[in-house]
């Protein structure tokens, strides 16, 4: 296991055990404590994930570091989850007036059909959204948190960990 995997795992274990640096001494609801990030992704509400991912600062992790991480993470998620991620990106981008066929051409995607998109296609779509619509990127991450468990860059993990520790500390 690489040191960045160990670092990320330690952050998530610390958070799952309530080891945060929060000044908030509000009592915790034990039923809302999560064992790890997978547990958080599975049991948390969409609103809880939106609050957590809504705190990601687009400027905190530069695109040059986020893009390769997104690509690696998207390659690791299950094909059905990847379809869901692509579908979610297209849905939100369409609400902004960006047509899926136009995006297919603009980004050089192999298709605009989420069921037939490759990991590379979804990575291009995620990178485009991260660069141009960071608020939509955060919303998709709240809807589809599977990607974040595969991020391994220590800087990305530290940024997420810092956000998560503050957030978990309040719950």
CA distances from 11 to 56, 114, 168 (A): 16, 33, 12
Q: Which domain holds residue 116?
A: 63-150
Mean pLDDT throughout 157-167? Answer: 50
2-51 pLDDT tens trace: 666 676 666 666 666 554 444 344 445 545 566 665 666 667 777 776 77
Do 129 and 80 belong together in one domain?
yes
61-119 pLDDT tens trace: 677 777 888 888 899 889 999 999 999 999 999 999 999 999 999 999 999 999 999 99
Residue 144 has pLDDT above 90, yes or no: no
Q: 3-class SS at 170?
A: coil
Tell me, yes or no, whether 24 lies in a domain: no
Contact 73, 133 (CB under 8 A): no
Do 53 and 67 belong together in one domain?
no
68-86 b/e (C-beta count within 10 Å ≥ 16 → b): ebbbebbeebeeebbbbbb
Do 146 and 120 belong together in one domain?
yes
Q: 3-class SS at 126?
A: helix
Furthest-apart CA atoms within the chain: distance in Å: 52
Domain count, the chain: 2
Do 112 and 164 belong together in one domain?
no
Tell me, yes or no, whether 27 lies in a domain: no
Do 89 and 144 belong together in one domain?
yes
**What CA–CA distance (Å, rounded) separates 37 from 73?**
15
Residue 152 has pLDDT above 60, yes or no: no
Do 107 and 156 belong together in one domain?
no
Do 109 and 85 belong together in one domain?
yes
Tokens of 81: 């989850």
Mean pLDDT throughout 116-144? Answer: 90
In this prediction, residue 89 carries a pLDDT of 96
Do 157 and 144 belong together in one domain?
no
Tell me, yes or no, whether 68 lies in a domain: yes
What is the chain's alpha carbon radius of gyration, rounded to the nearest angstrom? 16
Tell me, yes or no, whether 22 lies in a domain: no
In this prediction, residue 26 carries a pLDDT of 43
Which one-letter DSSP state was computed for residue 19? Answer: -
Do 44 and 97 belong together in one domain?
no
Tell me, yes or no, whether 84 lies in a domain: yes
């Amino acid at each position: 296991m690489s040191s960045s995997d160990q670092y990320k795992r330690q952050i998530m274990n610390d958070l799952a055990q309530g080891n945060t640096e929060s000044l908030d001494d509000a009592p915790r609801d034990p039923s809302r404590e999560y064992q790890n990030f997978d547990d958080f992704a599975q049991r948390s509400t969409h609103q809880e994930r939106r609050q957590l991912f809504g705190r990601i600062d687009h400027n905190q992790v530069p695109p040059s570091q986020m893009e390769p991480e997104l690509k690696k993470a998207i390659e690791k998620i299950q094909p059905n989850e990847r379809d869901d991620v692509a579908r979610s990106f297209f849905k939100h981008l369409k609400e902004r007036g960006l047509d899926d066929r136009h995006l297919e051409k603009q980004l050089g995607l192999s298709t605009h059909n989420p069921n037939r998109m490759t990991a590379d296609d979804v990575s291009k779509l995620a990178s485009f959204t991260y660069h141009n619509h960071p608020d939509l990127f955060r919303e998709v991450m709240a809807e589809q948190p599977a990607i974040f468990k595969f991020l391994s860059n220590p800087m990305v993990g530290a940024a997420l960990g810092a956000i998560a520790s503050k957030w978990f500390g309040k719950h």
